Amino acid sequence: MVEKQAGEQRIVVLGVGNLLMGDEGAGVRAVTELSRRYEMPPQVAVIDGGTMGIELLPWLDGCSHLLIVDAMQGEGVAGDCRRIAIDSPPSFFRNRSSPHQIGLADVLALAAMTDALPGAVTLLGIIPQRMDSGLELSGPVAAGMERLITMLVDELAGLGAPLVERVVVSA
Amino acid sequence: MSQRIVIDPITRIEGHLRIECEVDNGRVTNAWSSGQMWRGIEQILQGRDPREAWIYTQRICGVCTTVHAITSVRAVENALKLPVPPNAQHIRNLIIAAHGVFDHIVHFYHLSALDWVDIVSALKGDPKATAALGQSLSPWHRNSESEIRGIRDKLTTFVNSGQLGVFAGGYWGHPAMKLSPEVNLLAATHYFQALEYQREINKVVAILGSKTPHIQNLAVGGVANPINPDSQSTLTIEQLFHIKTLIDAVGDFIHQVYMVDVAAVGAFYSDWTGHGKGVTNYLSVPDLPVDPEGKAFLLPGGFIEKGDLATFKPITSFTDNFFTNGVKEGIKHSWYRGDWNRHPWEEETVPQYTKFKDDGKYSWVKSPTFNGEVAQVGPLANVLAMFAAGHGPTKRYLTEMLTRVGKLAGTTIPVSALHSTIGRHAARAVRCAVLHDTLTTSWQALVDNIGRGDYQTFNAPVFPKGEIRGVGFHEAPRGVLSHWVVIEDGKIKNYQCVVPSTWNAGPRNDADALGPYESSLIGTPVADPKKPLEVLRTIHSFDPCLACAIHMMDPEKNELIRVKAI
């Protein structure tokens, strides 16, 4: 949990989506892989938000930059990645079609009402191919995951939070 | 002329709940509840390691992650006859009760209060009069004029900015909204305060569940929290005292605000004790086990027939055949292959979608029965069972609730008034107070046990060759949840989840008896079929999963309600 401290930069990387619904879980898989590969600097918290809604509120406490990682519909083909800077987060997500994004709209609307809305909200998305029951990602989305993770690393570096790769030494 | 109302939340991917009603002369005359979500968890789990099932089941739903995790490990432990160390039971019980308290508070204030409370009217409330009203109802220290004025100003700014946010899509000014501007403003003030307290109590889940939104600390056979009073990396005395502080912080809010607000809404809308009754067979299960085998529980549960508390029959253990043999699911009206009524261990899940047919198949939800009967589940079922079982705290808080409503309404409110839409809210508040008491009990039991030098939290599971079967049950915030597992040579062969919303939202059963949602809507008055607030009130009173979707929808961009004359 990121503790609230005025004036400091606090970045939350929030992966959302349902792991049981194929490509719908791409956002969660991306942030899980990000934490596996990299050491996070102290101002960055990586959260697997799943399909939760209001329960995520405390995890956004004191957040200055919120990076939401998710499967998203858009122009292009499955596996393409997109970056959207969101001006009005609650209404942006209210019109999305998946249940967890309704939850997100809820969280962000409540955050707005309690003056706890992150200063900047950015959506990093990957276009899904199939979102039916199953644990596996589709081929194009699995192939696109590297691009998504690179985008995340670049985004964090751009915010002054470069990541350091973990060195795993097997002994 | 009769009309047909279709309320279908936006959800195009995981459709969720759709309610269709026929309305004649301003009253609902027929209803269909259709779950629009196909849940594939049963297939995903086949062939997997039973020790990992809970990791997947907690992803079934974004609202009920914790409860699916707990129930899954209980199912596997039941199959193995594996005892669970007392420390693990107490830690699980703390998580369960903290989650329940969180869930009940959020349900009342953030998911359903806006069915009764008119936010736009609240803006006209006078802060001074509102403070006086609040202080006449409760000793709560945050009913001050300055705090109320602050909330009203914040709301006014919010509404004037045109960004209604979570308040968009409410039926403001609807003729069925009856509260005065001051009562509305008081409730709106508590809506904001509730946001603070739900966060505090949810931190208990986070601390014990390993500091992520999804709990990580479960294991088949116990919990993965190592206990060492001297080590910083484990569950320490310091953490335990932090948990106690969080538990205490939410107590006054439950007793002086939540219980009082529900009573006030109940008194002002006392006509709603006459609506929404529906199915009065009530099923709940005992929970918060305090022994390794699950024979002794902090909270009782059982079955009540036709609303008669004298018929209460308790379920007494995790291995009680009264429960295990009583549950069946039918698919006569559900989108699965065939037409059968089976025990969960014998079920198959083969989807076969056809069109919505009033007298045929019309839902993804199956129709569960208990000993052949449709049953309602949820806090009302649980509170009635606990009351019938003579559970002390339940009797105390229920009596307090009914007395308070009676005083405000100037009449006497019998226990039978609970068989209603407003009764479900009252029961949920009572259960929240009861659950909160158990937090202190479980906390003390854990601390005492550790004090005796018992640090054990886990018994390792060993899977035999051949087939074994288990059931795990849990009295979740929305009612009875059960997971049914068949394990063969250490791998999952079959897995079925019979969830609370299946019991309540199920379609007609194999005898064409209406499910609890459907039945509860019959006779409900509907002032304006284009704005069926009254239907939402009753459906929301059950606390359906993702009910929030109904409040979240944007009426300009999504077609919410189609009304067609038939």
- In the structure encoding, which two tokens stand for residue B471, read together? 């059931």
**What residue ranges define each of the domains in chain A, with the CATH number in brackets?**
11-165 (3.40.50.1450)
State how far the Cα of B319 lies from the Cα of B303, in Å rounded to an integer: 16
Which range is least confidently modeled, A144-153, B139-148, B166-175?
B166-175
Verify whether the Cβ–Cβ distance B552 to A105 is below 8 Å. yes
Task: Kindly tell me if the per-residue pLDDT of B553 is higher than 80.
Answer: no
Verify whether the Cβ–Cβ distance A53 to B548 is below 8 Å. yes
Q: What is the pLDDT of residues A76-87, one digit of tens each?
A: 899 999 998 887
pLDDT of residue B250: 97
pLDDT of residue B226: 84
Return the higher-pLDDT residue of B313 and B171.
B313
In this prediction, residue B164 has a pLDDT band, given cuts at 50, 70 and 90, of low
In this prediction, residue B485 has a pLDDT band, given cuts at 50, 70 and 90, of very high
Q: Does any CB of chain B come closer than 8 Å to the CB of residue A73?
A: no
In this prediction, residue B368 has a pLDDT band, given cuts at 50, 70 and 90, of very high
**Residues of chain A neighbouring B188 (CB-CB closer than 8 A):** none
Task: Kindly tell me if the per-residue pLDDT of B546 is higher than 70.
Answer: no
Residue B170 CA from chain centroid, whole number: 22
Q: What is the pLDDT of residues B239-269, one digit of tens each?
A: 899 999 999 999 999 999 999 999 999 999 9
Out of B68, B99, B255, B474, which one is annotated catalytic? B68
Task: Kindly tell me if the per-residue pLDDT of A98 is higher than 60.
Answer: no
CA quadruple B430, B19, B285, B60: dihedral sign: negative
In this prediction, residue B565 has a pLDDT band, given cuts at 50, 70 and 90, of very low
Helix, strand, or coil here: B345?
helix
pLDDT of residue B551: 22
Return the higher-pLDDT residue of B91 and B162.
B91
Residue B127 CA from chain centroid, whole number: 33
Q: What is the pLDDT of residues B442-464, one digit of tens each?
A: 999 999 999 999 999 999 999 99
Out of B21, B432, B497, B548, which one is annotated catalytic? B548
Q: Residues A122-153, buried b or exposed e (16+ Cβ, 10 A)?
A: bbbbbbbbbbebbeebbebbeebbeebbebbb
Max mean pLDDT among A140-149, B108-117, B554-563 falls in A140-149
Verify whether the Cβ–Cβ distance B554 to A94 is below 8 Å. yes
Q: Which of B10, B38, B212 sits opposite A48 (nearest CB)?
A: B212
Name the residue among B142, B246, B235, B308 with its Cα closest to residue B456.
B235
Q: Does any CB of chain A come closer than 8 Å to the CB of residue B48?
A: no
Residues 6+ apart with CB under 8 A from B432: B100, B101, B104, B105, B254, B258
Q: Which of A52, A94, A97 sits opposite B12 (nearest CB)?
A: A97
pLDDT of residue B1: 59
pLDDT of residue B228: 76
Return the higher-pLDDT residue of B13 and A61.
A61
Helix, strand, or coil here: A67?
strand
Name the residue among B239, B254, B163, B232 with its Cα closest to residue B208.
B239
Which range is least confidently modeled, A97-106, B85-94, B350-359?
A97-106
What percent of chain B is modeled with pLDDT above 70?
A: 91
B297, β-bridge pairs? B289
Task: Kindly tell me if the per-residue pLDDT of B378 is higher than 70.
Answer: yes
Q: What is the pLDDT of residues B524-538, one digit of tens each?
A: 999 888 888 898 899
**Residues of chain A neighbouring B17 (CB-CB closer than 8 A):** none
Topology (CATH level 3) of domain B3-565? Cytochrome-c3 Hydrogenase; chain B (1.10.645)
- Enter the pTM of the model: 0.92
pLDDT of residue B407: 96
- Find, in chain A, the residue whose alpha carbon is nearest to that of B107: A54
pLDDT of residue B457: 95
Min distance B103 CA to chain A CA atoms (Å) = 9
State how far the Cα of A125 lies from the Cα of A69, in Å rounded to an integer: 6
In this prediction, residue A171 has a pLDDT band, given cuts at 50, 70 and 90, of low
Q: What's the whole-number mean pLDDT along residues B167-194? A: 90
Name the residue among B335, B331, B330 with its Cα closest to residue B352.
B335
B501 is catalytic: yes
State how far the Cα of B157 lies from the Cα of B161, in Å rounded to an integer: 6
In this prediction, residue A105 has a pLDDT band, given cuts at 50, 70 and 90, of confident
B68 is catalytic: yes
In this prediction, residue B37 has a pLDDT band, given cuts at 50, 70 and 90, of low
**Residues of chain A neighbouring B198 (CB-CB closer than 8 A):** 54
Q: Does any CB of chain A come closer than 8 Å to the CB of residue B313?
A: no
Strands in A26-151 per DSSP E: 38-39, 44-50, 65-71, 81-86, 120-126
pLDDT of residue B560: 29
In the chain, the amino acid numbered B303 is F
Q: What's the length of chain B? A: 566
pLDDT of residue B165: 61
Task: Kindly tell me if the per-residue pLDDT of B10 is higher than 90.
Answer: no
Q: What is the pLDDT of residues B187-197, one digit of tens each?
A: 999 999 999 99
Task: Kindly tell me if the per-residue pLDDT of B14 is higher than 50.
Answer: no
Query: If 0-12 CB within 10 Å is exposed, 13-18 middle and 19+ buried, where does residue B414 land?
Result: exposed
In this prediction, residue A131 has a pLDDT band, given cuts at 50, 70 and 90, of confident
Cβ(B477)–Cβ(B542) under 8 Å? no
Phi/psi at A2 (5° precision): -90, 120
Name the residue among A115, A103, A110, A125 with its Cα closest to residue A28.
A125
Mean pLDDT of chain B: 89
Out of B18, B20, B33, B61, which one is annotated catalytic? B61
Q: What's the whole-number mean pLDDT along residues B112-128? A: 93
Q: What's the length of chain A? A: 171
B14 is catalytic: yes
Task: Kindly tell me if the per-residue pLDDT of B97 is higher than 90.
Answer: yes
Integer CA distances (angstroms), B375 to B303, B431, B540, in order:
9, 19, 18
Q: What is the pLDDT of residues B379-432, one digit of tens each?
A: 999 999 999 999 999 999 999 999 999 999 999 999 999 999 999 999 999 999
pLDDT of residue B9: 52
Task: Kindly tell me if the per-residue pLDDT of A13 is higher than 70.
Answer: yes
HSE-CB at B370 with a 13 A cutoff on CA atoms is 30
> Scanning the structure block, which residue is given the tokens 């990645």?
A81
Return the higher-pLDDT residue of A164 and A106.
A164
